[in-house]
Every structure is written in C-alpha cells, then in structure tokens.
Amino acid sequence: MTAHDPKLSADHSNDISLYAKRKGVFPKAIDGAFRRFKWLVMAVCLLIYWGTPWIRWDRGAYASDQAVLIDLGNRRFFMFDIEIWPHEFYFVAGLLIMAGIGLFLVTSAVGRAWCGYACPQTVWTDLFQHVDRLVDGDRNAQLRLQKAPWGPQKIGKRALKWGLYLTISFLTGGAWIFYFADAPTLQREFWTGTAAPVAYATTFVLTMTTLIFGGFMREQVCIYMCPWPRIQTAMLDEKSLVVTYKDWRGEPRGSVKSALKAATPLGDCIDCLQCVAVCPTGIDIREGPQIGCITCALCIDACDKAMADVGRPRGLIDYCTLDDAEREKRGEEPKPLLKTIFRPRTLVYLGAWSAIGLALLFMLGQRTRLDLSVAKDRNPEYVMLSGGQIRNAYTLKLRNMETRPRTFTVALDGLEGGAMFTDEMDAAAAQRKLSVEVPSDTTKPLRVYTVLPRGAQPAEFAFVLTATDKEGGTDRSETTFTTAQGNGR
C-alpha cells in the first residue's frame, strides 16, 4: 500500500515543505446501498451513545438503578446484571483485549470497516457534513458560498451552521458525563448549577473536541493525527477487502462523447469525477489504495449510479482484495466472498477473540460474591495476659459484593481450645463462631482477637467466612497464631 496522498504531493516541484494547507472538502450527497448502511450504523451508534445512560435497571433498594454506570466515586462499574469491583478489573482488561483483537479481525477480513462506518470521528464528521448540506446546500452551493464574500447572507448561514455544530457538540460532550453518575439526577444538577465542577469541565472539553475534530478538522484527524491508519497498513494483506478502482476495466478513461471519437476503445470510466465529489476525505480513489481512504464506500455508490446512467455494469469501483484484482486482471473469476472472509488468518483471530470472550464469561459465572482477607497484627505479634493466656489480634476484611446486606458467620478452623472476640465485644464473651452483618456492597473491617489458654503453642489456622442466606458461599483465609516460641511456620 503506497501512501500516495494528494495533500502531500500537491504540485510544488522543488518544495520539500511537510506542511500542507487544508483544502476544503465539500462532499456531494449520494444515495445507494452503502450510504443507507452508513445511515443505519450512524443511527445505531448515536442511539447507543445517547440512549444508554437513560436505560433503567432494577437492582433493589441498595444500588443504583442505572443500567450502565461507571461509578468512579465508589469505584464500581455496573453493566446491567453485572457489577465489577476494582479487584475484578481484569474483566475490563479482557474486554479491551477483545476490542483490540476484534479490530485485528475486522481489519484483516474487511479492511478499514471500523474507519469507514463505526469510528466516532467518522460518525460525527458525517453528521456535521449533513448539517453543512442542510444549511448551505449540496456540494456546489457549499463551494459557491465558500468563495462568496462575507455578506449578511453568508454571515447568517455561517452563524446558523456553527450554531448547529455547537449544539450537536454540546449534546455530545454533555452526554458523556451521564455514564458516570445517575443520569436524571445529574441532568437536574447540571441545569441548576449544582453538579460537580468536573462535570462542567468534562462537558466543556468534550464539547470543544467534538466541535474542533468533527466540525473543522474532520479528515485531517484521520490522515495526520490517528495512528490507526498506520497500524492498519501492517495488518491489511493481499486478501483483505479494500475499496478498489478496477483500472483494468476503467482505463483509459474518457467521457462517452470522447469514446465515440477515440481511435482505440476506451475503458468504462467516464471520468465524471463523481467518486471524487462524494468522498468525505477528498481523495481520488482512482489513484489506488491510499492512507486517506477510510473505505466508507460512498464512491462505490456514486460510481454505480454513474454506470447505471450510461448503461454499463456496476462495480467499476468496488470492495475487492488485491489478490482478486490480480485475478480479474488476468480475466479469471474472483474468489467467493465467504472464502475471502473466512481464511486461516481471520479464523485464528476469531478463535483468539472467542476464547477470551468465553474465558471471561466462564470467570463471570465462577466468581464469588463474598470475600475474606486477614491481616495479622505484627506490632505486637502477641500479648501475654495476666493468667498466662496468649492473645493475637487480626484485622479481617469481610467483603459483601451483593447489592443487599448479608449476614455472615466468621468461624475458627483449627486453633483447638481457642476462642475469639471483636473489639466491640467483651473478652469474656469470646466464641469460636461470630455472626456479622455486612451492609450492601461494602467491605467491612472487623477487629478480631483470638485467645489461647496458658501454655499455648504457635499454630496455623484459618478464618472461615460463610454466608447464612440461601445463596450461600464461603471463603477462607489461612493465618497463624504467634506466641513467644514463634508463629508456627
């Protein structure tokens, strides 16, 4: 893949400047199969982005009823029926790895489909370009207005357009914060000025980035800022689908009229420049695969329409692998699409991706909702009591990950003849088994003293945590009992 970029190779023969001034891109409206698919993807993406925080999910009286909530303050992540604690962050790490491998998979199978359809930069740029058309009219009207001197009409239109940009940007930046707090409450606080300062700061920053990236920088983000196009050149191979101009069929190009006059027969390309006019990044696909091409396939729609108008078969510009391009050049049949997509490389990616997904699901099913950890006092390691008994102290952490209070028992396993009491009990009431209520979604620290009678020897034993409700569950933590003779290890 050669990085042949019209912006970089503008005609300055001796100029070695690395800076290229942006040429405005005024893509023409087009309708077609891929455009409709893009509409659909855009609608789904925007709906998910704006709608998700408002989905409610009943979790009972003790937890938020927001379906998707990243509760940074309490360090909890809620996603429908799943609640992730900080120590379970590997689930999120797993999802990120899946997202990474998923991108490899998609790229090796269907090329830069992510760039062309689902990337937020693409979705919002597309949205802003529709605003352009709504306010200024289609490509030609936009070009005219761009060249027109500043007058009341142009000022009015620009004000309207940039106002719409700002509105969309504000809605975009503002929607982000609802993922991090209860959406209806936060909205009320936001408008009454009582929300946290970070909510306003986040909204402001994301509004500005949306406005600048989507409204003004657009394809420059893809071409100059985004690392993904560079990474993808290493991931695409000769079997990946890329948007291809079939030059063996199109060249030499020429209009229908000139074809009639020409001595030798011309190719199918009528040089109508519709593929260039509709391109949202302003490139000419006929120059071959290039870094500016996000494979949105709008040029395919444009070319198909032109071919239909002049009565030639569709697909002069089409999704095509480099292998198939060679094959078609030689006049052979291209490989079937399914065989192209499901080849060993993509199947390996798919396998890795599914394996991680299944492993995550398995772990999700296996995880317990309670946890016990024990920290033994080291200063002092043991205490001699008046009667010669030895006492050790521990800090237990009882973790209840359910969104309701639970009653646990803490019991001694081992430590024969020993008993324990907490710092809220009388030493005389020491027992071998304690009952503790732990509030919903909480880690409760518990100070526990264990006592062995006179003449005690060092020992190893365990605390056992058991839930008493019908869901049950148990956890244990090994520790030691220290005397003057050591700690039993």
Site for another protein, rule CB under 8 A:
377-380, 383-388, 391, 393, 423-424, 426-427, 449, 454
Q: Are 80 and 58 in contact (CB under 8 A)?
A: no
Cβ proximity to another protein: between 382 and 463 the closer is: 382
What is the C-alpha separation between 318 and 337, in angstroms, rounded?
13
Cβ proximity to another protein: between 246 and 391 the closer is: 391
**Shortest gap between Cβ of 221 and another protein (angstroms)?**
20
**Shortest gap between Cβ of 453 and another protein (angstroms)?**
12
Cβ proximity to another protein: between 228 and 449 the closer is: 449
Cβ proximity to another protein: between 192 and 386 the closer is: 386
What is the C-alpha separation between 306 and 312, in angstroms, rounded?
9
**Shortest gap between Cβ of 456 and another protein (angstroms)?**
12
Q: Are 440 and 403 in contact (CB under 8 A)?
A: yes
- Please give the biggest Cα pair distance in the chain: 118
**Shortest gap between Cβ of 426 and another protein (angstroms)?**
7
Beta strand extents in 350-473 (DSSP E only): 370-376, 383-384, 390-400, 406-413, 419-422, 433-438, 442-452, 459-467
**Shortest gap between Cβ of 316 and another protein (angstroms)?**
44
**Residue 340 contacts by C-beta under 8 Å, 6 or more apart in sequence?**
239, 241, 321, 324
Cβ proximity to another protein: between 28 and 444 the closer is: 444
**Shortest gap between Cβ of 424 and another protein (angstroms)?**
7
What angle do helix axes 152-176 and 197-210 make, rounded to 10 degrees? 130
Cβ proximity to another protein: between 151 and 387 the closer is: 387
Q: Kindly write down the DSSP assignment for every residue of 50-68, as one continuous string.
A: HHGGG-B----TTS--BSE
**Residue 22 contacts by C-beta under 8 Å, 6 or more apart in sequence?**
7, 220
**Shortest gap between Cβ of 384 and another protein (angstroms)?**
6
Cβ proximity to another protein: between 14 and 366 the closer is: 14
List the alpha helices (DSSP H) in 236-343.
247-250, 256-261, 274-278, 298-310, 322-329, 337-341
Q: Are 275 and 34 in contact (CB under 8 A)?
A: no
Please count the other Cβ atoms lying within 10 Å of the Cβ belonging to residue 366. Answer: 7
Cβ proximity to another protein: between 56 and 454 the closer is: 454
Q: Give the pair of three-digit tokens for residue 115.
A: 């760039």
Q: Using alpha carbons, list the distances in angstroms from residue 415 to 206, 284, 423, 436, 455.
A: 59, 80, 20, 21, 13
Cβ proximity to another protein: between 45 and 420 the closer is: 420
**Shortest gap between Cβ of 480 and another protein (angstroms)?**
17
